[in-house]
Amino acid sequence: MPDYEFTSDWFSNNAPIWQQLLTQLRPARLLEIGSYEGRATAFMIETCAVECAVELHCVDTWQGGVEHDPAAMGDVERRFDRNIELAVAAQSHPVRLYKHKTKSQLALIHLLAEGRAGSFDLVYVDGSHQAPDVLSDAVLSFSLLRVGGLLIFDDYLWSMEPPGQQDLINMPKLAIDAFTNIYRRKLGVLPAPLSQFYVEKLAP
């Protein structure tokens, strides 16, 4: 195991279901929106590069969201760079990693403009938690995902505010629900813990 440098762990509880899904899907082209220190990124590299060469696109501003301390984000990005360098170096199959340091909407539109529509096997949405941003990420990610591919949303019930005082616009749930309702004839919802939301793309 590489000597990773993580200061937080919001992912490990989801690792067992990810292990199952990635083993079934065997994704070779992956897109991650919101990479932070790279814990989920490293897991995807370690799991998927066992089977084949992997192409992984990581999108993050490394400026933080409303819940982060902007002054700490430089160190967060440094840890991401180091962790992913270690993860890539430890694999037997090649890993092509593309780091998009920009807003997710700009990165996703750029990928679409490059002709990447329908080319990704898996998209993980874990960037901004504000509902308008999550909805935009969902719609653009759906276009980039191939039929049969997997779209994973993190922090389905996340909220900045305490229970009973939540601002729906500051939560991913409203956007995820709106997206799945509008696209319900084109996707299938997979069983998952409430901390995350998993859908399979069934039609273009």
Amino acid at the residue 114: E
Q: How far apart are CA 151 and CA 145, in angstroms?
A: 8
CB 72 within 8 A of CB 32: no
Reported CATH class of domain 12-201? alpha beta
pLDDT in tens, 58-98: 999 999 887 788 888 999 999 999 999 999 999 999 999 99
Residues contacting residue 135 through CB under 8 Å, at least 6 positions apart? 175, 178, 179
* Mean pLDDT of all residues belonging to the chain: 95
**Residue 121 φ then ψ, to 5°:** -85, -30
| Predicted local distance difference test score (pLDDT) of residue 96 | 98
- pTM given for the model: 0.96
Give the residues across from 125 on adjacent strands. 33, 153
